[in-house]
Amino acid sequence: MHRTRVLELYPDTRVTQILYTDVKNAAELRRKAMEGNINGALVNPMMLVSPFQVLVAANKAVHLQTTGKMKTKTLNAEIIFNLSPTNNISEAFKRFGISDGDHSILVVVVHKSDEVQFVSDISAMVDGQQLPVE
């Protein structure tokens, strides 16, 4: 039900997208993400056109991390920032990050090819229904 893609420029790196709907604990997930307790970017899927848009943002974030040129402090924050057409980090989080009352959440995880446990770890935290990413 999740979608995983290999980054062409970084073949040992994968980007996995997991979509949830009917989420009842968005405020708790947002708090955990801000504390760094969730290994993934929490994105508002209502602001997205295509999963490819997220893949491009994640690819750019990995590239900027590799070259040491990120504008944010973490890779997950950089993914959300790269989704935004503006150069304002707080505006990017308001538009593309999740809010406490959101009922749909897209979790974007950047990982190495041998890491697979994270999907079940994230699914255990989210009180919602997983949908296929299309």
Predicted local confidence at residue 35, as pLDDT: 94
Residue 50 maps to which CATH number?
A: 3.30.2380.10
Among 107, 80, 95, 79, smallest CA distance to 23 is for 107
51-81 pLDDT tens trace: 999 999 999 999 999 999 999 999 999 999 9
Q: What is the pLDDT of residues 8-23, one digit of tens each?
A: 999 999 999 999 999 9
* Cβ–Cβ under 8 Å, residues 125 and 51: no
pLDDT in tens, 98-123: 999 999 999 999 999 877 777 888 98
Q: What is the mean pLDDT of residues 24-35?
A: 96
Total count of domains within the chain: 1
Domain that holds residue 106: 3-131
